[in-house]
Amino acid sequence: MRCGIAAALLVVAAGATAVAAEGALFNDVHFHLTNYIQEGPPVRDFLDRTMGDKVGRVALFGIPLQQTWSYENSGDFAPTYYLQSDAPLYYYSFTDAFIAMAYRSLTKEQQARFDPMITGFNPADMYAVDHIRRVLTTFPGVFEGIGEFTIHKEFVSAKVAGDKASLADRALDRILDFAAESGLVVLLHSDIDMPFAKDDTEPVFLSQMKTLLKRHPKTTIIWAHIGLGRVVHPVRASAEQAERSPRHVQIVEELLADPAFPNLHFDISWDEVAKYIVRTPDTVKAAAALFERFPDRFVFGTDEVGPKDQPTYLRVYEMYDPLWRTLTPATSEKIRLGNYARLYDEARRKVRAWEQANVR
């Protein structure tokens, strides 16, 4: 009986997904329904009013970190963003239950437009993998990936209470091992370099990331924001090298060309990343050349946090207009729609199979 129900749900979801994606501008691989104090729009309002017929599918998650409201620090001012207070951030695991219940409140056809993600865990905690497994077994049929979760992030990492996450941490290895076992897609935020790094130097965290990827060749990993941040700018080289090709483009190109990393993908989410890519005609041209060479390895996302309306939600997509106009139609379609569908359809199939075998 359990096998029959699971198979039926997969058939229904697949059909609904095809309908939802028809005519859409993009699928969104990086979306936060809630903010740093766990507030956001009702999921049905987001679906009906904000996504509408412009967006096909969305990877749905909250934010795993809660901003503390410390009266000693900010008095009666209630911070809603991590830059508005010196008080620490702490992991808020209830976000996963909140997302699961929001998803379950939808019809099957509506659910097919979302791919929920588990994110309420501390990647520096050896027990984190137990949380992920527990969420899957408590809410079978819901989740398809983990993330966005953070290892290194400008301004954020230093504010997180407790041990600091690391690319070399065995706790992270346990998480990625389980993701490979269960089929979960991994959306990982880790800055490629320290803030305000000097030009023409090797990015601080690049070597550790390569080593991590080599340890987990069977885990589908999406590196968020191409490793960039608000002040972690694209890696620069000498003027002579930059004329031939931007150093950051070279680094990404080398990673994607390396046969050791067939499981690595990048998302181009966030308005900060869009500003780097569309800054000049030359930066657009360099990015487009990279995407044309590896059209299957990049995925579009907004990184919007509980947007209030559709124009706000579509702004990152519209920022990329110079890029969309430069890319060939085939590559543009893959980055905006096709690669997302391929990765998450496969995750949906694998995770449901894992649940079928492991959830009693």
Pair 121, 174: CB distance under 8 Å: no
pLDDT value of position 13:
43
Least confident of 2-11, 66-75, 222-231: 2-11
Domain tally, the chain: 1
Rounded-to-integer distance, Cα 191 and Cα 225, Å:
8
Share of the chain above pLDDT 90, in %: 82
- As a whole number, mean pLDDT of residues 214-224 equals 98
pLDDT value of position 15:
43
Pair 186, 220: CB distance under 8 Å: yes
Q: Computed over its alpha carbons, how large is the radius of gyration of the chain?
A: 20
Convert the pLDDT of each residue in 267-277 to its tens digit. Answer: 999 999 999 99
* pLDDT band at residue 11 using 50, 70 and 90 as cut-offs: very low
246: domain CATH number is: 3.20.20.140
Helix H, strand E, coil C: the string for 147-197 is EEEECCCCCCHHHECCCCCCCCCHHHHHHHHHHHHHCCEEEEECCCCCCCC
Convert the pLDDT of each residue in 128-145 to its tens digit. Answer: 999 999 999 999 999 999
Higher pLDDT, 281 or 244: 281
Rounded-to-integer distance, Cα 226 and Cα 247, Å:
13
Any bridge partners for residue 115, and if so which?
59
Convert the pLDDT of each residue in 46-82 to its tens digit. Answer: 999 999 999 999 999 999 999 999 999 999 999 998 9
pLDDT value of position 83:
87
Any bridge partners for residue 150, and if so which?
189
Rounded-to-integer distance, Cα 348 and Cα 297, Å:
19
Q: Look-up: residue for tokens 């508005």?
A: 84
pLDDT of 110 above 90: yes
Q: Could you give the C-alpha distances from 337 to 78, 84, 180, in angstroms and in order?
A: 38, 35, 24
pLDDT of 221 above 80: yes
Pair 327, 288: CB distance under 8 Å: yes
State the maximum Cα–Cα separation within the chain, in Å, rounded to a whole number: 66
Q: Could you give the C-alpha distances from 345 to 32, 216, 303, 339, in angstroms and in order?
A: 20, 21, 21, 10
Least confident of 84-98, 139-153, 239-253, 318-332: 239-253
- As a whole number, mean pLDDT of residues 281-307 equals 97
* pLDDT band at residue 290 using 50, 70 and 90 as cut-offs: very high
Rounded-to-integer distance, Cα 359 and Cα 248, Å:
43
* Structural domain span for residue 61: 2-358
* pLDDT band at residue 9 using 50, 70 and 90 as cut-offs: very low
**pTM recorded for the entire structure:** 0.92
Pair 53, 25: CB distance under 8 Å: no
Vertex 264 angle, CA 61 and 336, to 5°:
60
Q: Residue 280 has what DSSP assignment?
A: S
User: Residue 160: phi, psi to the nearest 5?
Assistant: -75, 125
- As a whole number, mean pLDDT of residues 154-180 equals 94
* pLDDT band at residue 245 using 50, 70 and 90 as cut-offs: low
Mean pLDDT, the chain, rounded, equals 91
- As a whole number, mean pLDDT of residues 191-198 equals 86
Q: State both tokens at 80.
A: 């809603």
User: Kind and range of the H or E element at 60?
Assistant: strand 55-61
* pLDDT band at residue 124 using 50, 70 and 90 as cut-offs: very high
Share of the chain above pLDDT 70, in %: 92
